[in-house]
Amino acid sequence: MTSLSFTGIRKTFGTTVALESFDLALQPGELVSLLGPSGCGKTTALRIAAGFEIPDTGVVSLGESVITDTPAHRRNMGMVFQSYSLFPNLTVAQNVDFGLRNRKVEKAKRNSRVGEMLELVQLGELGKRYPHQLSGGQQQRVALARALAVQPEVLLLDEPLSALDAKVRSTLRDEIRRIQTELKTTTLFVTHDQDEALAISDRIGVMSNGRLEQLGTPEDVYLRPASPFVARFVGSINELPNSNGVGKILMRPEDITISENENELTMRGTVTRVTFQGPVTIISVRVDINDQLVNVHAASGSIHVQVGDRVSLAVTPGRGIVEAA
Amino acid sequence: MKQSRSQRALGRLLPTLVLIASAIFFAFPLLAMARFAFQNLQVIDLGWNNLFEKWSFSSITASFSDDFFAEALTLSLKLAVGTALFTLGLLIPTAVWVHLRLPKARVFVEFLTILPYVIPAIALVAGIVVVKPHARWFLNSDYSLIPFYVVLALPFTYRSIDTGLRAIDLKVLVEASRSLGSTWIATLFRVVIPNLRAAIISSTFLTVAVVLGEYTISDVLLKRTFPSFMAQYRQSDPRGGYALAILALLGTTLLFVAIGVLSKSRSTRPQQVSRSQENEILV
């Protein structure tokens, strides 16, 4: 039994193909992130789910029902947008009440639901304020409460954190995950921020050029990327020459270590930069074999090297992904 | 250094001088008109020495008692209300649709709406004269003026609504409303219109100003609107006619002041909470 599913979706805008052969099925209660660079089609997929775009071909289903052509207002989905979308003429409480009024819920129930939702997003005291009296983070919390108030079958989040600064973003990210887990609402989360996707998701769909490159758990996507694109897009990557001379091996910086031994499996190089980043220090080494720059992540304080030092690099066997030439 | 200071002083003084000169340029003819309308003196006797003598509202009170005054004013007010409603009913859905679905057509629509400003009302009148024999059933009604007034007011009203729509994030608000279960109609009435309050007020007042000032079309169609009444009344009582003109001018000015006040009250909201305050609140 799936919740929201896309089957064989194709969507074009003029001559631009936004989505091609797009298949995705969300299990009830899970949070799936669509991750990819700008223009990869992730937002188009979300807008198709919301009913704001109609696919050229393919089927969108919600449980057993096909909703491909169902108008947006009949889909029972909650959506939080990238930009602040609260209705400026309504108070916080009236914003949260908006969808409930549309569903003709009786007043007493509406009031209690609005209160519950505002408590859930920890803004119980601010019901009488107007959106312009709230911070960006508070506005997005209210938008979340508003979307959840109608008990949607699917919650759609369109980069809801991207307008916020780093500290608020991380707090609200954890908050979204807490609420989603608590309410067990099936959620489709669109983001271009890999840290966000890795931290919040049950599964991540990495997209490129309108196609789903890989769908898997955050560990799968990071540790076992299905393609060079996924390896490059999620996390940092080093491109090392293949020992047989054909193509490249893509390695994570943490899978390369500075070795004290020198043998046929190590590469020699010169340290060109040492960047302290708190718990991790990034050591950049220009390797002799192909003059490429290789980044190594080392626990800060564990290794003491300086710019100009000659070092040997060892790779963890079985962790690279081979990219054919 | 001294020179730059005097240049700065001149820079500050110059706009003030221009403003004073403009005020004089506008105020003098109005003052002359007011003296003609409200001072019980022969025109030949009007001079600086009797500037404050024999002012009276008798000319305007006499015009109020004319049989057709109330009728003409009522008709014009009815036409103003009708035109404003028709304009809003036509423009809001059209402008919303253009903003949401046809953003590339915005330039074309803007061009269309400015045409009544470019083409003089007399050209519209020429058109009316041609169709008049075929549309008497329509043109016989006083309210047949409404569509013409809607067209005449378009350059002002469309711009006002368009500016209002540009000031809000229309696409996101509409999509948020739709995702929360609103139909298009409900979205229009519960989300779009309440957030266009200032634009709607300004568009309405501009429409009223156009209706209360339009003479050409109503005269051709032989409708006794307030401007037509003023023109006719001026022929029988020039002082009363000009007194009415001043009254109309005053009414229009008050409408524009009201637009300014109401628009300002929308724009003087408290500032958005700053990022640093936000961190204090949330973390």
- Note the pLDDT of residue B282: 43
Q: What is the CA radius of gyration of chain A?
A: 24
Indicate the residue of B169, B178, B281 with minimum beta-carbon distance to A135.
Answer: B281
Q: Which band of pLDDT confidence, cut at 50, 70 and 90, is reported for residue A264?
A: low
| Per-residue model confidence as pLDDT tens digits over B63-84 | 888 888 899 999 999 999 999 9
- The DSSP code sequence of chain B is -HHHHHHHHHHHHHHHHHHHHHHHHHHHHHHHHHHHHHB-S-GGG--GGGTTSSB-SHHHHHHHTSHHHHHHHHHHHHHHHHHHHHHHHHHHHHHHHHHHH-GGGHHHHHHHHHHHHHS-HHHHHHHHHHHGGG-HHHHTSGGGHHHHHHHHHHHHHHHHHHHHHHHTTHHHHHHHHHHTT--HHHHIIIIITGGGHHHHHHHHHHHHHHHHH--HHHHHTT---HHHHHHHHHHH-HHHHHHHHHHHHHHHHHHHHHHHHHHHHHH-PPPPPPHHHHHHHH-
pLDDT in tens, A73-100: 999 999 999 998 999 999 999 999 999 9
Pairwise CA distance, residues B22 & B36, whole Å: 22
| Amino acid code (one letter) for B213 | G
Q: Could you tell me if A125 lies within 8 Å of chain B, comparing CB atoms?
A: no
Out of A14-18, B4-8, B24-28, B237-241, least confident range: B4-8
Cα separation, B163 vs B166, in Å, equals: 5
Band of residue B280 on the pLDDT scale cut at 50, 70, 90: very low
Per-residue pLDDT band for B264 (boundaries 50, 70, 90) equals low
**Cα separation of A99 and A105, whole Å?**
9
Residue A89 · residue A71 · CB < 8 Å:
no
- The whole-number average pLDDT for the span A170-192 is 93
Rg (CA), chain B: 25
Q: Which of B131-135, B192-196, B267-271 holds the top average pLDDT?
A: B192-196
CB contacts, 8 Å: B179 with chain A: 50-51, 72-73, 75, 77-79, 147, 156
pLDDT score recorded for residue A43: 96
What residues of chain B, 264 to 283, have a C-beta less than 8 Å from chain A? 269-270, 272-275, 277-279, 281-283
Is the pLDDT confidence value at A251 over 80?
A: yes
Q: What type of residue sits at position B26?
A: F
- Surface of B (140-169) touching A: CB under 8 A: 168-169
* Nearest Cα residue in chain B from A156: B179
Structure confidence at residue B166 (pLDDT)? 93
Categorize the per-residue pLDDT at B2 as very low, low, confident or very high, splitting at 50, 70 and 90: low
Where do we find the tokens 């039994």?
A1
| Structural contact between residues A188 and A4, judged by C-beta atoms closer than 8 angstroms | yes
Q: Which residues of A touch B186 (CB under 8 A)?
A: 102
Whether A51 sits inside 8 A of B178 (CB atoms) is yes
Q: Which residues of A touch B277 (CB under 8 A)?
A: 135
- d(Cα A301, Cα A21) in Å, to the nearest integer? 48
Q: Calculate the average pLDDT of chain A.
A: 91
Rounded Cα distance between A218 and A165, Å, is: 24
Q: Which of A20-24, B136-140, B162-166, B197-201 has the lowest mean pLDDT?
A: B136-140
Would the CB atoms of B194 and A89 count as touching at under 8 Å? Answer: yes
pLDDT per residue as tens digits for the range A100-145: 999 999 999 999 999 999 999 989 899 999 999 999 999 999 999 9
CB contact under 8 A, A88 and B195: yes
ipTM: 0.86
Whether A132 sits inside 8 A of B281 (CB atoms) is: no
Arithmetic mean of pLDDT, A228-234: 92
CA-CA distances (angstroms) from residue A308 to A205, A257, A324?
41, 17, 33
- B-facing residues of A in 164-193 (CB < 8 A) are 165, 167-168, 171-172
Q: Which residues of chain B are within 8 Å of residue A83 when distances are taken between CB atoms?
A: 169, 172
- Contact between residue A282 and residue A295 where contact means Cβ atoms under 8 Å apart: yes
Q: Which of B274, B276, B282 best probes binding to A when mutated, by most A CB atoms within 10 angstroms?
A: B282
Mind listing the pLDDT tens digit for each residue in A282-304? 999 998 888 889 999 988 888 88
- pLDDT range class, residue B88, cuts 50, 70, 90: very high
A102·B186 Cβ contact <8 A: yes
Q: Which residues 142-161 of A have a C-beta within 8 angstroms of B?
A: 143, 146-147, 150, 156
Which stretches does DSSP call E strand in chain A?
A: 4-13, 16-25, 31-35, 57-62, 65-66, 77-80, 154-158, 186-191, 203-208, 211-216, 238-241, 248-251, 256-259, 266-277, 280-287, 293-299, 310-315, 321-323
Q: Torsion over CA of A194, A195, A197 and A203, rounded to 10 degrees?
A: 100
Please answer yes or no on whether B180 and A85 come within 8 Å at the CB atom: no
CB atoms within 10 A of CB A218: 19
pLDDT classification of B3: cutoffs 50, 70, 90: low
Asked whether the beta carbons of A151 and A120 are under 8 A apart, the reply is no
Taking the CA of residue A132 and the nearest CA in chain B, the distance in Å comes to 6
CB A219 within 8 A of CB A295: no
- The answer to whether the Cβ–Cβ distance between B279 and A99 falls below 8 Å is no
Closest CA to A282 of A291, A271, A270: A271
Contacts 24+ apart (CB under 8 A), B37-40: B37/B239, B37/B240, B37/B242, B37/B243, B37/B245, B37/B246, B38/B243, B38/B246
pLDDT for the residue numbered B275: 46
Chain B nearest CA to A311, separation (Å):
43
- Give ∠ CA A160-A165-A166 in degrees, rounded to 5: 95
Average pLDDT over residues A14-41: 95
CB contact under 8 A, A81 and B175: yes
* Nearest chain B residue (CA) to A103: B181
Confidence of residue B222 (pLDDT cuts 50, 70, 90): confident
Beta bridge partners of A6: A24, A60
Residues 6+ apart with CB under 8 A from B91: B157, B158, B161, B203
User: Are the CB atoms for A1 and A28 separated by under 8 Å?
Assistant: yes
> Interhelix angle for B275-282 vs A136-149, to 10°?
60
